[in-house]
Structure 1
């Protein structure tokens, strides 16, 4: 009877990731990254938007908590804090504390976060480009007009 090491078990599990299975950890990750605040934090730290000096895409950047809070209209302090912590836990961003008076805390995407941002940028762009069409389809559906 052969035994497997923990590393071998992790490698086997990785091969078997299947998001359609209820117990697959990749499903929980999909839940996390599909959250609107995660998407918007990734976009802000990835340099998307008017603050970048371009129409849509800039360079990834560091931002302080207060900058992120202003950039993400409507986010509560609690939700932003939870989102940043979850992204840090997943290794998608880093939190850097600089001992100044007052203390300076900045957030920036890791290489893993930048790779996810590239995917999310496409989804965000699609949503912005097709919003008029989606709204028209919703109205047509809601009024029952064919």
Structure 2
């Protein structure tokens, strides 16, 4: 009887250790940047906006691995908000290069601008002055919020 209790105890302890080992360690994204892009449809129908949004988010998923999330949302008054989550500032610079002339998303970004008028952009996260200077060259209303505390995973 003692042997059964000992064997059962060892088996339980071993199975608990195995479960913990199989659970992956959570990686925190210490430098995540979130942006909210406030937009208005550019003389396009709801279907045209929906179809293009689906197409464009799939292109982002395919071509930009350091983009963590890319979501188009519509309000009741037909305003569009694009929520972008980037691994870090470098991922945003990569996106800017991709949509620039001769970038892999240049033509797609042209279509993006045919579908949407960007009203403003708000960035959440710690960004360098170099980044802010680059964004200011586009002439869009831009607001920045710096991190106080928090985490992403």
* TM norm structure 2: 0.27
Larger strand share, 1 or 2: 2
- With normalisation by structure 1, the TM-score equals 0.28
Larger Rg: 1 or 2? 2
Q: Which has the higher helix share?
A: 1
